Amino acid sequence: MKIYPEIILIASQNEEPVQGFRVCLIGKDFCGDRRGTVPVKAFRAYLKGLGVSRATYSRWIGEALKLGLMTRMRSGRTGLDYYAFVSYARMAAIAGCKKLSAPVQIELDAFLERSWMSTVLVAYELRFNGKPVSRETLTALTGTPKSTQIYREKQAGVVQKRNIAIWGDYQELAQKNPDFVIGSFDKPGMYISKETGELCQQLPNSREIPEAVRLAKKGSTNRSNNKLLALLPCGDEAKKQPFVKRYSESPDETKRIKRNLRKFSNFQAPAAIYERWKCWKTQSGEVQGWAACVV
DSSP code string of 73-97: EE-TTT--EEEEEPPHHHHHHHHT-
Buried-state track 147-175, b at ≥16 Cβ within 10 A, e below 16: ebbeebbebbebeebbbbbbbbbbeebee
H helical segments located in 194-295: 221-231, 251-261
Q: What is the pLDDT of residue 264?
A: 65
Q: What is the pLDDT of residue 181?
A: 86
Q: What is the pLDDT of residue 209?
A: 95
Per-residue confidence of the chain (295 residues) as pLDDT tens digits? Answer: 999 999 999 999 999 999 999 999 999 999 885 578 999 999 999 999 999 999 999 999 999 999 999 999 988 888 899 999 999 999 999 999 999 999 999 999 999 999 999 999 999 999 998 899 999 999 999 999 999 999 999 999 999 999 999 999 999 999 998 888 888 888 889 999 988 999 999 999 999 999 999 999 988 899 999 999 888 776 555 554 445 568 999 999 988 888 877 776 555 655 689 999 999 888 878 899 999 987 7
Measured distance CA(134)–CA(16) in Å, rounded = 26
Measured distance CA(58)–CA(65) in Å, rounded = 10
Buried-state track 223-235, b at ≥16 Cβ within 10 A, e below 16: ebbebbeeebeee
- The residue count of the chain comes to 295
Residue extents of the structural domains in the chain: 2-158, 160-208+241-294
Q: What is the pLDDT of residue 154?
A: 96
Measured distance CA(190)–CA(201) in Å, rounded = 4
